[in-house]
Each structure stands twice: as C-alpha cells, then as structure tokens.
Amino acid sequence: MAVLATRMVAGTIFIAFGIGKFVAYDTELASFEAYGLPWPEGMVYVVGCVEVAGGLSLVLGLLNRSVALILAANMFVAIVVSGIGEGEAISLTLAPALLIAMVMLLRLGPGDRHDVT
C-alpha cells in the first residue's frame, strides 16, 4: 500500500511541476539560464516532458522502476544545480523527498501495474 501511495503522490507532483515548465516557460527559462544549464531553451521542454510523462507513468503503474531511475536522476540534478547551487528552497526540501521516493520505488517495486493488487 505504501508503494502505491508513493507512486500516486509523487506522480501527481511530477505532473504538476512538469506542466509548470510549459505554463510558466519564461520563468522556468530564466531559472535554467541562471543555473548555467546547456541549451536552456530546449532543456525546459525536455525536463517538462520527462516530468509529465514520468509522473503519468507512475500514476498509471507503467514501467515504474525505469521511470523511477530517470526521475531520481532528474531530482539529483535539481538538488545539485538549483538547490545547492542556487539555494532554492523547493530543491532543498521537495526534491530530496522525491529522490527518496524514487529510490524506494527502485528498491521495492512494483515493476509494472499488474504487480499492484
């Protein structure tokens, strides 16, 4: 039950933040430029797509371990670049919690939706 709840909550958060990359593109672009990321104009879209697609996959219970690995990497970069590098509160609080959740999904599964009953 904890794995299912983790998937649902984390997936919903990733979807919301991913959509934010598109809705508030100019703000996100300014942040990505401040972080010194390569190709910030495109990186905003790439990260937004990864977060929305990954979040949907978690909510639907599809490819959970693979998606958790990708999203864990995403959160690690967020913690280092915007959290440690820029001192952004969300990247020092929510991002570590999401990273822990993704590690939990990697270790505990389920690997796909039919594992959840």
Residue 3's identity, in one-letter code, is: V
**Phi-psi sector, 109: left (phi>0), alpha (psi -120 to 50), beta:** left
Distance set, CA 16 to CA 20, 34, 107, 108, 117 (Å): 6, 22, 25, 24, 26
The answer to whether the beta carbons of residues 102 and 57 sit under 8 Å apart is no
The answer to whether the beta carbons of residues 81 and 31 sit under 8 Å apart is no
For residue 87, give every residue at least 6 positions away whose Cβ sits within 8 Å of its Cβ, in sequence order, or none: none
pLDDT, tens only, 52-108: 999 999 999 999 999 999 999 999 999 999 999 999 999 999 999 999 999 999 998
> How far from each other are the two terminal CA atoms of the chain, in whole angstroms?
9
The pLDDT assigned to 45 comes to: 98
pTM above 0.85, yes or no: yes
Average pLDDT, the chain: 93
- Which DSSP state fits 39? S
